[in-house]
Structure 1
Amino acid sequence: MDGTDDLFRMENNNIIPGKGKVLIAEPFLEGRYFSRSVVLLTEFSDEGAVGFVLNKPVNLNVNEVLINIAHFDGDVFIGGPVDTNRVYYIHTIPELIPQSIHIYDNLYWGGDFAILKELISLKKIEVHQVRFFAGYSGWSAGQLEDEIKENSWLVSQLDVKDVMNCNNEKLWERSLRKMGGRYKMWSNFPENPGLN
């Protein structure tokens, strides 16, 4: 035994999944959507969970994805593998967008999209106030809890500023470093160790 099994064993960090928490993928989790991803949970209950991947840009501007929307410099991110033909959004301006769903602190999900479009056309929304996602991540009842028990995800927290920061391709590494200990070492582990 060389000790690598212990190095990549997750320690219980006593943070349970919930609305507003983030999931940090373990280093070897595979797949286009979840490899080295950080997922914000916007909904969590006995019936399942919904979230958005925060650190996978699509390399498209909102104007290239949404028809009939005024020019807006915001990027679109891959939210997850479910319903990828729809665009979802989170924001920090509930006072301007009715029917927004509170996530935590000053962070909200969705709301009246017609009003959002109008606010964008009137240039009353700034890029740091809203983030767009193609699709979402979803788990059925008990599925996410099982994945956490299988050590696929670490549960953590981020402040709203980090969640809304669109320049976050290094979010996975930064989140692990912030957790310290063995997780700090994980952040430096190569994506494909066979290429070293």
Structure 2
Amino acid sequence: MARATGSGPGEIAAGSLLLASAGLLDPNFADTVVLLLDVNDEGALGVVLNRPSALPVSEVLGEWGDVVDEPEVLFQGGPVATDGALAVALASPGGEDGAGFRPVWGRLGLLDLDTPRELVEGTVDRLRIFAGYAGWGVGQLEAEVAEGSWYVVPGEVDDVFGDEAPELRRQVLRRQPGDLALHATRPMDPELN
């Protein structure tokens, strides 16, 4: 399980995960896990990892449906540009320079879906496609983290391609050191406790 390089606990960087805290009530992000794909001077961009839709990839993107990981559905990547798609891929060893692939961290990166599939074959081990994305302007994500809306933790490749989407947030919390792991068993509504 490769971890995001250069992203320690609390570091907002590509490859880090944002875990929604119980206090984050925005329905777009409640109980979500977001993989950060780009963090720069203009803001941050990521995709929600744990919201599969019921729409098969093959119905929207044809032949790409044959190569995506199970479940072979589009994932709801976030509330921005929901009519567009981002493909997150794990490059085959040595495939980081493959056609249409832009590395994010390690062998994980973005795959341009306009790249002919035959040029991609053999260069990508895993693929997941997201409709839309989550985005933050300059300083916005940092402010949300400071107010306690998100926990920032290192990501692992298996977080992106796992088949336990509904349980992903709890699984990631459980492996965290210290008190953060305790949040894995906390109910979303503390009054239910």
Q: Mind listing any 5+ residue stretches in structure 2 that lack a counterpart?
A: 1-7
Match of residue 111 from structure 1: 112
Q: For 2:158, give the aligned amino acid.
A: K
Shift of the 150–60 alpha-carbon distance from structure 1 to 2, 3 Å rule, reads: same
- Which residue in 1 is equivalent to 2:100? 99
- TM-score normalised according to structure 1 size: 0.79
For 1:5, the equivalent position in structure 2 comes to none
Partner in structure 2 of residue 69 of structure 1: 63
2:158 matches 1:164: no
- Structure 1 or 2, whichever has the larger Rg, is 1
Q: 2:28 aligns with which of 14, 33, 42?
A: 33
Whether the 8 Å CA contact 2:16–2:155 is kept in 1: the answer is: yes
Distance 1:169 1:119 in 2: 33
Aligned equivalents of 1:182 and 1:27: distance in 2? 14
Retained in 2: the 8 A contact 1:100–1:112?
no
- Structure 2 residue aligned with 1:88, among 68, 80, 86? 86
Secondary structure, aligned partner of 1:182: helix
1:105-127 per-position Cα deviation (integer Å, ceiling 9, x unaligned) = 110112252323x479x8x698x
- Structure that is richer in strand per residue: 2
Over 3 Å counting, the alpha-carbon distance change for 1:32 and 1:125 in structure 2 is: farther
Deviation at 1:170, TM superposition (A): 0.7
1:53 and 2:48 equivalent?
Answer: yes
Is 1:144 the counterpart of 2:141? The answer is yes
Q: CA deviation at 1:163?
A: 1.9
Q: Distance in 2 between matches of 1:177 and 1:156?
A: 12
Are 1:97 and 1:111, in contact at CA under 8 Å, matched by a contact in 2? no
Q: Secondary structure at the match of 2:187?
A: coil
Q: Secondary structure at the match of 1:69?
A: helix
- Residue 192 of structure 1, aligned match among 185, 189, 192: 189
C-alpha separation between the residues in 2 aligned to 1:93 and 1:113?
17
CA distance in 2, matches of 1:44, 1:113: 24
Q: CA–CA distance in 1 between the matches of 2:53 and 2:16?
A: 23
What number of residue pairs does the alignment pair up?
Answer: 179
Q: Which residue of 175, 186, 196 corresponds with 2:172?
A: 175
The gaps in structure 1 that reach 5 residues or longer are: 1-12
Q: Is the 8 A contact 1:87 1:135 kept in 2?
A: yes
> 1:25 corresponds to which letter in structure 2?
A
Residues 147, 15 of structure 1: alpha-carbon distance in 2 compared, 3 angstrom cutoff: same
